[in-house]
Structure 1
Amino acid sequence: MATVHHWTGQEAHALRLALRMSVRGFAEHLGVAARTVAKWDQLLAATEPRPDTQAILDTALARADAAVHLRFETLLSEAGRPAAGPGRRVTASGPRAWEYESWTDDLDRVVVALSRQNFAFADNLLARWLNRFKPPELDDKGLYLLARSTALRGDLQRDQGAVLGPLSAQHSYAGARSVFAQLDIPRRIAQLDLSLAVVAEMSSKLDVAARHYESLAVDDRLSRRDRARARLWVGTALSKDGNHDYAARVMMAATREFEDLSEPDDWSVAHQKLALAHRGVGDLGAALHFIDIARSTGVTDSPMQRVRLDTAHGHILLSDPATRDDGLHVLDDAAKLATKFGLSHQLRSIESIRRTSEGAPGPRRR
């Protein structure tokens, strides 16, 4: 946000225009004589307000909104002020208020783009801000936006399958967590811990992921919904590690929590994961029951969720020799959609399911 180190008639005139006030209106706003304002307009940089009036102008500028600041800085720039070097009169520390507003709006757009797997657009918006400012230039609000941007880049990288390495979700999440720790925001720190546990699970570090999920499922820093998600993901890690019976019990507890919270999308995802846990123990009847619930109840119809649902459905169908061909067809459709939206992690999962199913006997029906 702009500050004026020493006011002249030039800066006072620019502030009047930025506020879109008449000479008389500006004089009343400041509590000075109209002829004083007229003098500033006439003499510009050749006159200087009195020290007490300088303080009044400081207050008027500080109380102005972001749009006024933008107009004020633009007017001074067009008038050739501030100039570079020691004579500079107007400075800005880091981003201006209007830039913070634009940054916040862009992050809201990133969230929507990620929900639709529009990765190129999301990446472009994030790069606009992450490449624009260095941390030392930012105050606490700027650092918060930087950390949030970095966390969203982690979500982007995770959804694209870039899990480990210097340009990965793990690296971005760790960076965002460090900034939130610097700002001392416990809830955001815990959310990043949850994201890092997801990365561990995706990297096949199932024991590590399960332990992290278990601790976060009872962590008061998280919201009730996030704690329920952690409980659900405990079940996911257990199921991937072959502990399907206990996984199903843990997932069912999370499912009841989502129902109590009126979270239909999370409730649908929980049924999808329950279906896979029952497939793991060979109960294909229960698996089909739960996947049908998941497919019919989800509110968000994003490409990512469609691929996940179809992958789970195909996996279950593939487990029964009688429905193997149907399962392959469903997996083919899921693979095409994953390819279209660049969902490489899901593609690898689909290929792994295909390879595992080749020549393997199907689980028994109950």
Structure 2
Amino acid sequence: MAAVIMWTGLEARALRLACRKSVRDWAAQLGMSVRAVSNWEKLGAGTRPRPDTQAIFDTVLRQCTPEARTRFEALMARHTDAPVPPEFQAGPRTWEYESWAEDIERAVLAASRQDFVFAGGLLERWRSHWPAAELDDRGIYLLARSTTLVGDLRRDQGALLGPGSAATSYAQARLLYTRLDIPRRTAQLDLSLAVVTEMSGQLSAAASRYSDLAGDVRLSTRDRTRAALWVGTSLDKQGDHEQAIGIAESAIRVFADLGEVEDWATATQKLALAHRGAGNLGEAVRLIEVARTNTTGSAPMQDVRLTTAHGHILLSDRATVEEGYALLNRAEQLAGQYGMTHQRRSIQGIRSGFQRAPCLQ
């Protein structure tokens, strides 16, 4: 094969992909930092590594297997007028799957910090790259995961129904998992769609769907318990506080047995709100403090939900009204900062409800 006259970030990335190496493994092989490799690839043809690095690339290319050299030529042909071999013409190249999977994990991390713009950009650039018809089963799986995560982002931003919404993304992902015949993933999408139904105010329909999913053998014990907990949440919103208390207490026991600390804390928060609804304010305050104490991490969404629940409880007692409003204001400010539209609407609804009605005590 012809030698590379001048290596740029473009050729450097093509060589890595041809060798089927992750950025981290590639950096280790070259004796470079991960940051240096990432910078080359980001700048592409706009950067030229130093002469000693150019020589390293020459050596690596000479030592490549014939298969890797063929992949390198095919990748470079995509940036020239040279014909691309038929085996490289449709769908993702095998070595591109790794980059897609890496971006999905990066998007998960960004989403946990409510960095919606960055996470969405990572996912959409892959989702829009190839038609589903050009993907094999591995590509369909990655597309389904990406589409599910887009649904999560839209849900957290409050885009629940209609075109470009969480419900649309979840339905699309469900079709993809059905095509792959992965029942557990399909059931998880059913659970996500039920959450959207509840968040959009269709409480009776959501409770019915949660009830079905709580006994669905396709789901794990954890997911079935989460479904049962959400049955209680829907019932609590409809005024059936005593039944909601029983369901939350049961969920807390299961999550404790499973060692699911975050789910346990969430169930404790739900139990606190159910006691607030039932008028047991002392127990509600105790439980929300337990939930706050046992919550790990500092994700903005988690902080907003706990602070909102705490403020909601404190508003119910005349002695703590001012503190309750202060907490709601803090939660609303944080929700606005991170673009959590649904959470902001919920907080405004709580505040408006208490302004129209007197405190419980």
> Which range, TM-score by smaller chain?
0.7 to 0.9
Query: 3-state SS of the aligned residue for 1:178?
Result: helix
Distance 2:176 2:306 in 1: 35
Aligned partner letter, 2:71? E
Corresponding residue number in structure 1 for 2:307:
310
CA deviations on 1:33-88 (whole Å, 9 max, x unpaired) are xxxxxxxxxxxxxxxxxxxxxxxxxxxxxxxxx99866532235658999449xx5
1:215-364 map, 5 Å: 215-364=212-361
**C-alpha spacing 1:156/1:216, structure 2 compared with 1 (3 Å):** same
Instruction: Tell me: CA distance 1:109–1:68, structure 2 relative to 1, closer, same or farther (3 Å).
Output: farther
State the match for 2:58 in structure 1: none
Percent identity, aligned pairs only, is: 53
Quick check: 2:74–2:88 contact (8 Å CA) kept in 1? Answer: no
Gaps of 5+ in 1: 1-8, 11-17, 20-65
Number of the residue aligned with 2:105: 108
Q: Note if contact 1:283-1:363 (Cα within 8 Å) is conserved in structure 2.
A: no
Equivalent position of 1:207 in the other structure: 204
d(CA) in 2 for partners of 1:93, 1:133? 9
How far apart are 1:143 and its partner, in Å? 0.6
Find 1:72's aligned residue among 70, 73, 79: 70
Q: 1:68 to 1:347 in 2, by over 3 A?
A: farther
Question: Which residue, out of 134, 139, 142, partners 2:139?
Answer: 142
8 Å Cα contact 1:213-1:230 kept in structure 2? yes
Contact in 2 for aligned 1:82/1:90 (Cα 8 Å)? no
The verdict on how the C-alpha distance between 1:82 and 1:324 changes in structure 2, with shifts beyond 3 A counting, is same
AA partner of residue 204 (structure 1): G
Q: Please say which structure displays the higher CA radius of gyration.
A: 1
Q: Which residue of 2 aligns with 1:167?
A: 164
Matched ranges for 1:174-213 at <5 A: 174-213=171-210
CA–CA distance in structure 2, aligned partners of residues 248 and 67 of structure 1: 64
For the residue of structure 1 that corresponds to 2:88, the secondary structure is strand
Q: CA deviation at 1:116?
A: 0.8
- Residues 269 and 291 in structure 2, CA contact (< 8 A), matched pair in contact too: yes
Deviations 1:262-298 (A, max 9, x none): 0111111111111111111111011101100110001
Structure 2 portions without partners, runs of 5+? 3-17, 20-63
Q: 1:78 to 1:162 in 2, by over 3 A?
A: closer
Q: Is the 8 A contact 1:70 1:98 kept in 2?
A: no
Structure 1 equivalent of residue 27 of structure 2: none
Contact kept in structure 1, 2:77 and 2:83, CA below 8 Å: no
Q: Within 1, Cα distance between the matches of 2:150 and 2:212?
A: 25
Query: Could you tell me which amino acid in structure 1 is paired with residue 162 of structure 2?
Result: G
* Amino acid aligned to 1:73: R
Which TM-score applies when normalising by structure 1? 0.78
- Equivalent residues of 1:281, 1:363 under 8 A apart: no
